[in-house]
Structure 1
Amino acid sequence: MIVQLNGNVNFPITLDPTVWIFDDRKIELDKVFHTPSDEETDDGKQEVWDRNEYQQQIRPPVNKSISRYERKKVLENSYVMPIRHFIHNAEPSVEATEAVLHTNEGEVTITYQQLLESLLLFALDGKPLRENGPVQVLFGDGSNQDEPIQGVHTITVH
């Protein structure tokens, strides 16, 4: 249930998606590609998730105590984690142009920019992805949200 981030990076990283459920940087899957209607917003304005603004808030997770309601909510929702946080910590080479996603079914090559904007799906209905995991990759533009890249266990930056 771990994901290796390696290749043309200064610091190869081993990621454990099972602990992200309590990480403050996680995002509910339903809120990533969904723009609320006027009825869903308090002031009548449409709220749009600003990916760039969110990704600039790189801060470590806060291990705060959570209420019983929040704990129940965490164990019922599906979540994604922006990969940008981890790429930044691995310090990839400035010459990086692509990434290879090693899956249970083979390899998928994507651009480095696609990788930076990707989200890692790590929990469905509050449970880790055991069958098609440990993570699934969703592109930041939502182009593959119906068919994410499944079974990703290693990400190699080239």
Structure 2
Amino acid sequence: MENIIVLSGKVKYTITLEPTVWIFDDRKIDLTTYFSSTSNPSNELEEYTKSISKHWDREITEGAIYPPTLKTEKKYEKEKVLTGSFGIPFQPFLKNAEPDETAAFLVIKTTTSEHEIPLEKAMNLVLGFSNAGKPLSEDGPVHVYFGDGSNQQEPIKHVREFIVK
């Protein structure tokens, strides 16, 4: 139960977050490259369209039979999951909780302190849940990174709860 984080407060729905299952989530991002990229974050529909387009082009040029390179790609992706450092955007969870119109802040409760940030800034948070292929069991279950990467070297650790105020 120590890995469970609750998102509550001035929200329509209280959300329970379980970081150990996010490794299987398609929304996960690679933390080793996420903050170093200078491009603007693209929307999910654009990413999905590019992905499907690439797959469609491959089927047209090579047929529906998967070439050996696809097997190699799958093996690489499996190894990446076992050795990578990953995070997940906080925005979908916050949107699903449906914050009240009067809510203005997100309080991040840790075992030793509280951090209060504006709700607009909270929409860009990234929750780190894996480092070098391992869950963040010692100082986790998640690390909170600001979307601009300003606290990349010193993320908020030992997170226990998110409260919308």
TM-score (normalizing by structure 2): 0.78
Q: Which has the higher strand share?
A: 1
Q: How many residues align?
A: 139
For 2:74, which of 31, 42, 67 is the aligned residue?
67
Contact 1:55 1:84 in 2 (8 A): no
Do structure 1's residue 135 and structure 2's residue 126 form an aligned pair? no
Matched with 1:22 is 24
- Residues 101-112 of structure 1: matches in 2 within 5 Å? 101-112=108-119
Aligned-residue offset at 1:67:
3.3
For 2:8, which of 6, 16, 38 is the aligned residue?
6
Measure, in 1, the Cα distance between the counterparts of 2:109 and 2:30.
Answer: 25
Q: Which has the higher helix share?
A: 2
For 1:51, which of 38, 41, 62 is the aligned residue?
41
- Amino acid in structure 2 at the alignment position of 1:14: T
- Structure with bigger gyration radius: 2
Contact 1:6 1:157 in 2 (8 A): yes
Measure, in 1, the Cα distance between the counterparts of 2:33 and 2:44.
Answer: 13
Measure, in 2, the Cα distance between the counterparts of 1:95 and 1:56.
Answer: 32
- Amino acid in structure 2 at the alignment position of 1:133: G
For 1:91, which of 98, 101, 106 is the aligned residue?
98
Measure, in 1, the Cα distance between the counterparts of 2:25 and 2:149.
Answer: 22
Contact 1:135 1:152 in 2 (8 A): yes
Measure, in 1, the Cα distance between the counterparts of 2:33 and 2:40.
Answer: 11
Measure, in 1, the Cα distance between the counterparts of 2:45 and 2:36.
Answer: 18
- Amino acid in structure 1 at the alignment position of 2:31: L
Say which SS state the counterpart of residue 123 (structure 1) adopts: strand
Shift >6 Å, 4+ stretches? 55-58
For 1:148, which of 126, 135, 155 is the aligned residue?
155
Aligned-residue offset at 1:52:
5.2
Measure, in 2, the Cα distance between the counterparts of 1:57 and 1:91.
Answer: 25
- Amino acid in structure 2 at the alignment position of 1:18: T
Say which SS state the counterpart of residue 51 (structure 1) adopts: coil
For 1:114, which of 104, 118, 121 is the aligned residue?
121
TM-score (normalizing by structure 1): 0.81
Q: Structure 1 unaligned runs (5+)? A: 36-47, 59-65
Deviations 1:87-133 (Å, cap 9, x if unpaired)? 11111112211111110112111111121110001100111110111
- Amino acid in structure 1 at the alignment position of 2:86: Y
Say which SS state the counterpart of residue 100 (structure 2) adopts: coil
